[in-house]
Amino acid sequence: MFYCASWGSRLLERLFSGLMRRFTFQTGSVILAVLSVSFVAPSRAVAQNSRPDDVAAQAVPAAAHDADTSAQQDSPNAPPGPAAAEPESSDVLTLFPHSETSRYWISGQANVVMQWHSRFPAAYTGPNSLTPWPQSATTHILTLYTGYELTHTTEVFADVEYASGGGIGSALGLAGYSNLDSVRTVSGVTLSRAPYLARLMLRQIIPLTRERVEADRDQFHLVTSLPARRIEFRIGKFDLVDFFDLNTWGTDSHLQFLNWTVDNDGAYDYAANTRGYTDGAILEYDDHWFSARFGVVMMPKVANGINLDADIARARGENLEFDAAGKRLLHRAGVVRLLSYLNTANMGSYEEANKIFLDGQGTAPTIIATRRQGRHKYGFDLNAEQELPANLGVFARAGWSDGRNESFAYTEVDRTAELGIFTKGDKWKRKNDRAGAAFVANQIVGAHQQYLGYGGVGFILGDGALTPGSEKIVEGFYTAHLWRGFFASCDIQHVNNPGYNKARGPVLVPGLRLHVEF
């Protein structure tokens, strides 16, 4: 599939060569240009100009529309009519009600995570190790989401975020790091604590049928019914995993799991800057039970870099994903997703770095010295979820990347396998509580192991030496709904062979989390 992704990108370059050479979406002029085009509806698109209200009687429940994010699972109920009873506080999951009919959207969330670990055994400690002495750390993320429905097929979004706290060990030493909210450093330098623009994007819906399906309204989707068959286009600044590699029970770090390689496929080195965002475009096709999406986005200029490379003809991330939803097992909902990606960037080579070191140059291999424009990294992800009786859900991921070239954007994982279970608290009369457990095993290829064993460092790992072993993680959590938009969680993670090193660990990482939706 990565060949298909590459072919698609070359086709876009041929059709839109000027755009592909300088893909600078952050400029207001491009956004305004796209907005002006979006108001001109295709004259032959079916029902392009009909209001959703005109065909409301045709709406049917959606079998599947994107996997639920935290807001999809926890979006508030529609405001009651004049004769409706006031909902109980246990049924309201935000501090303030959100309209189901307003053209604008304003919401927000705050997430505070505290984690710690006691002393754990370590034969040695390197520059990028999780330090073995006792420590604790707290992270904070506050996000303001805004959106506006320009027309019934055109939406714009702008989100502002504040983040602080690097987490235990400053987000180093674990390939499956324990807190997705941690703020990473760039070459040892802490990022600014000032608020920043997280997302700025436009969504355009092109109907291909008059039949409509119900849709959840949240911070990334404003309309409450959609054409059952449609094309969607997004352009701007966003987090790629807002739309790719989603999983109902293994995506949300604010109400579910915290570990990087539980919430995302660790082998999916998705394009992003240090904060997790990129600029680009996503084209999606939806047809009842099937979806396909293709995204072309900017890569960082260097591994784990804060600045993106605007020359998309030189460096880019290409992502292709297929979703299939249905009720094939036990007549209960399930989804299977297949994703492939191909990254092109100024990457180093582990094999080349090892060879230079073995030839007697330097005291340790250095991946930076081998960087070259045009190198590739590609991989695949199989992602599945299935509802079960007794209000249970199971989910799984299997990820693979070629691993020859430098881990560049997410974390240092080349192989991953994950299995998890999730439930909500209906059985014990706490319907908005949730609990889950997951196991994930991560691994890297031989050249990467040798690089770390010779004393090389990446942007996440580097113990100074390595006794190779799979990094194995078990995580469990319980999230309690306190009142309206307030949630509190306890979380525990056990990591065996942290950083793929049998000479270190195991380490136990307990944590507490407070989450507020407003």
Q: Nearest-CA neighbor of 50 among 162, 176, 211, 243?
A: 211
pLDDT at 287 over 80: yes
- The predicted model scores a pTM of 0.85
- Read off the pLDDT band of 186 (50, 70, 90): confident
Three-state secondary structure readout of 50-90: CCHHHHHHHCECCCCCCCCCHHHHHCCCCCCCCCCCCCCHH
Domain range list for the chain:
2-76+101-517
235 in Cβ contact with 25 (< 8 Å): yes
Q: What is the DSSP letter of 32?
A: H
d(CA 480, CA 425): 9
pLDDT at 362 over 70: yes
Q: Average pLDDT in the 446-453 region?
A: 98
- Read off the pLDDT band of 51 (50, 70, 90): very low
d(CA 298, CA 296): 7
d(CA 438, CA 419): 6
Q: Average pLDDT in the 481-485 region?
A: 96
pLDDT above 70 covers a percentage of the chain that reads 83
Q: Average pLDDT in the 370-383 region?
A: 97
39 in Cβ contact with 154 (< 8 Å): yes
Q: Average pLDDT in the 72-98 region?
A: 58
Q: What is the DSSP letter of 27?
A: S
- Read off the pLDDT band of 231 (50, 70, 90): very high
- Read off the pLDDT band of 178 (50, 70, 90): very high
Rg (CA), the chain: 23
d(CA 262, CA 257): 7
The shares of helix, strand and coil residues in the chain, as percent rounded to the nearest 5, are 15, 40, 40
pLDDT computed for residue 74 by the predictor: 40
Burial class (CB in 10 A: 0-12, 13-18, 19+), 56: exposed
6 in Cβ contact with 342 (< 8 Å): yes
pLDDT in tens, 159-177: 999 999 999 999 999 999 9
- CB-facing half-sphere around the CA of 161: CA atoms within 13 A: 19
Strand spans (E) along 242-314: 278-287, 290-297
Q: Nearest-CA neighbor of 217 among 329, 131, 102, 331?
A: 102
CATH fold of 2-76+101-517 reads Porin (2.40.160)
Number of H helices, E strands in the chain: 7, 18
Higher pLDDT, 449 or 2: 449
- Read off the pLDDT band of 445 (50, 70, 90): very high
Q: Nearest-CA neighbor of 232 among 38, 3, 60, 99?
A: 38
Mean pLDDT score across all residues of the chain: 87
pLDDT at 26 over 70: no
pLDDT computed for residue 88 by the predictor: 59
pLDDT at 11 over 80: no
d(CA 122, CA 231): 53
Higher pLDDT, 59 or 272: 272
d(CA 393, CA 335): 11
Question: Residue 305 — φ and ψ, nearest 5°?
Answer: -85, 155
Q: Which of 77-91, 179-193, 388-402, 480-494 has the lowest mean pLDDT?
A: 77-91
pLDDT in tens, 328-347: 999 999 999 999 999 999 99
Q: Average pLDDT in the 78-86 region?
A: 43
d(CA 418, CA 116): 24
pLDDT computed for residue 92 by the predictor: 85
pLDDT computed for residue 440 by the predictor: 98
- Read off the pLDDT band of 68 (50, 70, 90): very low
pLDDT at 72 over 50: no
d(CA 42, CA 318): 27
d(CA 31, CA 304): 27
- Read off the pLDDT band of 150 (50, 70, 90): very high
The contacts of residue 164 (CB under 8 Å, 6+ apart) are 139, 140, 183, 193
pLDDT at 81 over 90: no
pLDDT at 64 over 90: no
d(CA 218, CA 225): 12
